């Protein structure tokens, strides 16, 4: 059942991942899912999930089939759903259309469905393969924010920082604009498009009045304009009305934030259907999120500039700690964008426990 895929299966599932990828950032609270229906190496139909409340990937893929898919193989990046939610169970449709084999990228972390489809489909005489290895990893990666939200009630949180080589966010006067170059800023735009909400602290709002909207040249054809939620974390309740619009949540007003409990604030955000949050600063908010263990991904740009001024604004104003207890991360990507270096990390779990003097 759970096995590494052969090259032909891998090719089809890779196509399903591509289809899902195009709608990352548009499907919350649902996951991005892609599906391909194929027979003997030929694609009969394909589709993806575009928006919560609309048909699932399997439904769209089967509806687009150019011939009767009876006996064909359905490749889907996520285990097909087996109970009725906003839409009917995909497992029923798969049985009705007499699909011969289903290849699943990864199991659904949603407790309503988790693992049920395999037994259901097999009982109906359908061959089921669940991917293993790199392909499965890719499919899990695709739904990481959904998985965290559905299992823990917390959104996946990415913290983005743009720093000088000596680790400063801004110079002593607070000037932080244009630390990084246009290529780095363009990359941030694509990241914004992939998340549900963009969060900043009130200091950043007052200093920069950022629109925080992705300047989308989107590949996605949605009928609605793409507007992300802005979350303004106003510990000091000092946000000006002119910085609030109809896509803004002010944490103290809309998310019950008491100025201290960031986790409760993020839980409130999750109940609003936000699975994926990008925090763009400032330093103090980022540090508080790191200290609270709420950060899932750290995206740091290092600009080739050095300030050498101890009065400049530190990138990581966390509580000082000895090397043995340093906050530690695992890199998963590094690249150069124009003049700047992008380093991406995941937090290293329980490093305080493993470190020794």
78 binds, among Zn ion, ligand AOF, none (CB under 5 to 8 A by kind): ligand AOF
Q: Among this protein's residues, is 241 annotated catalytic? A: no
Among 14, 28, 30, 73, binds ligand AOF (CB under 6 A): 30
Tokens of 80: 């097909």
Nearest to Zn ion of 72, 295 (CB atom): 72
Q: Are 304 and 57 in contact (CB under 8 A)?
A: no
Tell me which H or E stretch contains 288. Answer: helix 283-291
Q: 58, 79, 280, 297: which one is catalytic?
A: 58
The yes or no reply on residue 85 touching ligand AOF (CB under 6 A) is yes
Tell me which H or E stretch contains 36. Answer: strand 34-39
Measure the CA–CA gap between 214 and 226, rounded to whole angstroms: 8
Q: Name the packing angle between helices 144-152 and 133-142 (round to 10°).
A: 70
Binding footprint of ligand AOF, residue count (CB under 6 A): 18
Measure the CA–CA gap between 9 and 286, rounded to whole angstroms: 42
188 binds, among ligand AOF, Zn ion, none (CB under 5 to 8 A by kind): none
Q: Strands 127-131 and 101-106: what pairing?
A: parallel
Encoded one letter per residue, x for contact with Zn ion by CB under 5 A and - for no contact, window 61-100 reads --------------------x--------x----------
Encoded one letter per residue, x for contact with Zn ion by CB under 5 A and - for no contact, window 7-46 reads ----------------------------------------
* Total H helices, total E strands in the chain: 12, 16
Among 31, 203, 286, 347, binds ligand AOF (CB under 6 A): 31
Looking at beta carbons, which residue is closest to ligand AOF? 85
The yes or no reply on residue 78 touching ligand AOF (CB under 6 A) is yes
Measure the CA–CA gap between 68 and 44, rounded to whole angstroms: 9
Query: Cβ 106 to ligand AOF, closest distance in Å?
Result: 11
Measure the CA–CA gap between 198 and 344, rounded to whole angstroms: 18
Q: Are 342 and 304 in contact (CB under 8 A)?
A: no
Among 56, 158, 192, 284, binds ligand AOF (CB under 6 A): 56
Query: Cβ 136 to ligand AOF, closest distance in Å?
Result: 16
Residues 100-129 that bind ligand AOF (CB under 6 A): 108, 110, 113
Is residue 15 classed as helix, strand or coil in its secondary structure?
helix
Residues forming contacts to Zn ion in the complex (CB under 5 A) are 56, 81, 90
Residues serving a catalytic function are 58
């Amino acid at each position: 059942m759970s096995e590494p895929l052969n090259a032909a299966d891998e090719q089809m599932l890779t196509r399903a991942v591509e289809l899902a990828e195009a709608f990352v950032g548009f499907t919350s609270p649902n996951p991005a899912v892609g599906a391909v229906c194929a027979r003997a190496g030929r694609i009969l139909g394909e589709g993806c999930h575009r928006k919560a409340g609309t048909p699932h990937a399997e439904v769209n893929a089967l509806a687009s089939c150019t011939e009767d898919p009876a006996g064909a193989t359905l490749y889907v990046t996520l285990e097909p759903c087996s109970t009725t939610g906003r839409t009917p169970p995909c497992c029923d449709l798969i049985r009705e259309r007499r699909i011969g084999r289903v290849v699943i990228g990864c199991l659904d972390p949603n407790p309503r469905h988790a693992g049920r489809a395999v037994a259901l489909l097999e009982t109906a005489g359908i061959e089921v393969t669940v991917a293993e290895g790199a392909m499965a990893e890719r499919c899990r990666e695709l739904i990481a924010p959904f998985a965290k939200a559905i299992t823990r009630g917390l959104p996946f949180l990415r913290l983005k920082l743009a720093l000088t080589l000596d680790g400063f966010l801004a110079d002593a006067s607070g000037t932080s604009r244009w630390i990084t170059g246009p290529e780095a800023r363009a990359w941030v735009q694509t990241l914004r498009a992939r998340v549900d909400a963009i969060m900043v602290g009130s200091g950043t709002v007052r200093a920069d009045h950022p629109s925080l909207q992705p300047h989308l040249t989107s590949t996605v054809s949605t009928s609605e304009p793409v507007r992300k939620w802005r979350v303004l974390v106003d510990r000091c309740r000092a946000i000006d009305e002119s910085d609030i619009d109809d896509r803004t949540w002010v944490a103290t007003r809309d998310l019950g934030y008491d100025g201290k409990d960031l986790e409760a604030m993020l839980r409130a955000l999750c109940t609003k259907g936000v699975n994926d949050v990008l925090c763009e600063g400032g330093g103090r908010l980022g540090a508080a999120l790191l200290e609270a263990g709420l950060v899932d991904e750290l995206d740091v740009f290092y600009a080739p500039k050095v300030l050498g001024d101890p009065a400049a604004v530190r990138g990581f104003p966390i509580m000082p700690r000895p090397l043995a207890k340093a906050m530690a991360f695992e890199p998963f990507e590094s690249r150069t964008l124009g003049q700047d270096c992008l380093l991406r990390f995941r937090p290293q779990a329980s490093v305080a426990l493993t470190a020794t003097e």
